[in-house]
């Protein structure tokens, strides 16, 4: 049990360091649009989009492989 608590504390500590180091604001330019957003928020949004796309692609592949 002590190993789990230690691992959780270490992971939380690493996540806090990661967030603090990536708090800078970055500009995203797409043609004539410009958006200013925190780098960590951008990484989180991209992670969520990637998870959703992976889930949808996996569901689509399972649907195709189903015998009729």
Mind giving me the DSSP string for the chain? -HHHHHHHHHHHHHHHHHHHHT--EEEEEETTEEEEEEHHHHHHHHHHHHHHHHHHHHHHHHHHHS--
Average pLDDT over residues 57-66: 85
What is the per-residue pLDDT for 55? Answer: 93
1-33 pLDDT per residue, tens: 799 999 999 999 998 898 888 889 999 998 999
What is the per-residue pLDDT for 68? Answer: 63
pTM for this entry: 0.67
What is the average pLDDT score of the chain? 89
Average pLDDT over residues 20-47: 90
């Amino acid at each position: 049990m002590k190993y789990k608590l230690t691992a959780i504390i270490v992971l939380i500590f690493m996540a806090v360091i990661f967030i603090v180091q990536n708090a800078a604001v970055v500009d995203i330019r797409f043609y004539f649009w410009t958006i200013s957003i925190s780098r960590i928020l951008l990484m989180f949004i991209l992670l969520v989009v990637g998870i959703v796309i992976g889930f949808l692609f996996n569901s689509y592949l399972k649907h195709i492989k189903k015998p009729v």
